[in-house]
């Protein structure tokens, strides 16, 4: 068990699965724990599956107990699990309150609880790393930049056309602050913390992978390779920040 142990949440599909593939492409060897909400999905992959649901505290505790018993530590925790639920409000499958609560419960609250639960295993590592996968839409500094499509104001009148991702953006901005808090809390424990903004990726986030691709989203493998670089220390000088491929993402 000399290889680094990496737990990737939400890793049975999308960016999470590409992160797993990127780690296996590395010249370095890893023990990869595939965190998945569904046991069936986790069991489909040739990695070590860990069933965990960010909205279920008992599930998080069971995942911790399993990893602690089987592996004894975690060297890298990649908080990738998340979701964009705004469109479910527009489609009528969620009320506004349900959608906002779920956005924060999954992207921020559940992520914080999982991190809090797993910190004791991180502190058993000789080189612990804590990553949170955030979004380019979360930056307050660039929120007025019209080059980013989510910043463009809709036409006059009410109701507004569908397409806003307000709850998703807010929850990811909250995640950025949460990372700063974990940076402070673990400053004297040797844990390197980051938010990683991998870019606009052609995944099923929001429920429409093809539409994301048509809007200019890039191959998620590109974002996953960048995340691997952060895991392998290429951005250590930027620890405690939101990092993206071209530098540091403004707050």
Phi and psi based region of residue 168 (left: phi greater than 0; alpha: psi -120 to 50; beta: remaining): alpha
Residue 131 three-state SS: strand
Catalytic position from the list 168, 171, 192, 197:
168
Length of the chain in residues, anyone?
A: 251
Q: Which two tokens stand for residue 226?
A: 């960048």
Annotated active-site residue 168? The verdict is yes
Helices 220-231 and 14-25 pack at an angle, to 10 degrees, of 60
The active-site residue out of 102, 103, 172, 192 is 172
16: enclosing H helix or E strand: helix 14-25
What is the DSSP secondary-structure string of 50-62? EE--TT-HHHHHH
Peptide bond between residue 248 and the one before it cis (omega within 30 degrees of 0): no
Is 116 among the catalytic positions?
A: no
Instruction: List the catalytic residue out of 11, 36, 103, 135.
Output: 135
- Residue 8: closest CA among 77, 98, 87, 62: 77
Given a contact cutoff of 8 angstroms between Cβ atoms, the answer to whether 82 and 13 are in contact is no
Active site residues: 135, 168, 172
């Amino acid at each position: 068990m000399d290889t680094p142990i990496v737990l990737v949440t939400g890793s049975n599909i999308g960016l999470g699965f590409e992160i797993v593939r990127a780690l296996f492409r590395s010249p370095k060897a890893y023990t990869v724990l595939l965190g998945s909400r569904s046991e069936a999905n986790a069991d489909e992959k040739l990695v070590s599956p860990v069933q965990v649901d960010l909205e279920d505290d008992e599930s998080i505790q069971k995942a911790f107990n399993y990893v602690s018993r089987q592996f004894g530590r975690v060297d890298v925790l990649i908080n990738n699990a998340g979701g964009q639920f705004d469109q479910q409000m527009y489609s009528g499958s969620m009320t506004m309150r349900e959608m906002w609560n779920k956005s924060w419960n999954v992207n921020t609250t559940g992520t914080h609880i999982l991190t809090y639960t797993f910190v004791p295993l991180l502190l058993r590592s000789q080189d612990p790393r804590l990553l949170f996968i955030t979004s380019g839409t979360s930056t307050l500094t660039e929120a007025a930049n019209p080059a980013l499509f989510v910043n463009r104001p809709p036409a006059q009148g009410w109701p507004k056309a569908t397409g806003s991702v307000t709850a998703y953006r807010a929850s990811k901005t909250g995640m950025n602050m949460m990372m700063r808090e974990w940076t402070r809390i673990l400053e004297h424990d040797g844990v390197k913390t980051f938010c990683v903004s991998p870019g606009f990726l052609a995944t099923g986030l929001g429920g429409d992978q093809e539409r994301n691709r048509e809007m200019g989203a890039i191959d998620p493998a590109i974002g996953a390779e960048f995340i691997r670089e952060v895991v392998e220390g290429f951005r250590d000088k930027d620890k405690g920040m939101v990092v993206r491929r071209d530098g540091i993402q403004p707050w």
